Amino acid sequence: MELEGSKERLHLFKANLNEDGSFDSAVDGCEGVFHAASPVFFSVTDPQAQLLEPAVKGTLNVLRSCRNVPSIKRVVLTSSIAAVTSFKNPPSLDAIIDETCFSDPVFCKEKELWYALSKTLAEEAAWKFANENGIDLVVMNPGLVIGPLLQPTLNLTSETILNLVKEGRTEFPTFRFVDVRDVALAHILAMENPSASGRYCLVGIVISALEVFNILQKLYPHLNHLEM
């Protein structure tokens, strides 16, 4: 996939999430900053090193760099629906889970939901830092992002669909899908709309794994080995 206008308008900077000041040159002179980088793994051997530290420290390093640039008017942070929906005692079936809900770090740790824990801790740290330093922060909480890929390899979310195709199984009983193009547009609107504030859950559809499986069977009937 080719990025239109990238030769003229895209500038790449080397940075390290765990390195203090690593983002200084990248944000210098900017009016708005999107922080969308955080490791995504569901199976880890060292949660602290692989997920928790990069997520929290990386987020704070970006915000520290932004704090020192007077021209920056707003920061849009990509969190996750995982920072919204993971708690021990969910509300009743008819209750609405929305932007006011936060995942419970204690529950995430008990159940070893390391990705959810990393996004929850990173977002909590971001809000605390932003409030203490006068940073206008808006947070996006997307579900499972699917759609066109920039890179030639599959990312983790796309692999969940591939696992259904190849093996007829998934670790997710329910999917909260959102198209990557909708996520990108939401980020832009959050940056450009002065009235945007707080958190925004980005979910296009909630669908069971069985429904996804049935759709795949209809689209690709030659995959007759699929069973679920």
Q: What is the distance between the alpha carbons of residues 84 and 103, in angstroms, rounded to a whole number?
A: 5
Catalytic residue among 111, 119, 128, 218: 119
Q: Evaluate the CA torsion angle 50, 56, 57, 61 in order and state its sign.
A: positive
172 CB contacts (<8 Å, ≥6 apart)?
144, 160, 209
119 flagged as catalytic: yes
| Distance from C-alpha of 189 to C-alpha of 80, rounded to nearest angstrom | 17
List the beta bridge partners of residue 75.
33, 137
Instruction: Assess contact for 27 and 66: CB atoms under 8 A.
Output: yes
Q: Which residues pair with 34 in a beta bridge?
A: 76
- List CB contacts of 1: < 8 A, sequence separation 6 or more: 148, 149, 150
Residues serving a catalytic function are 119
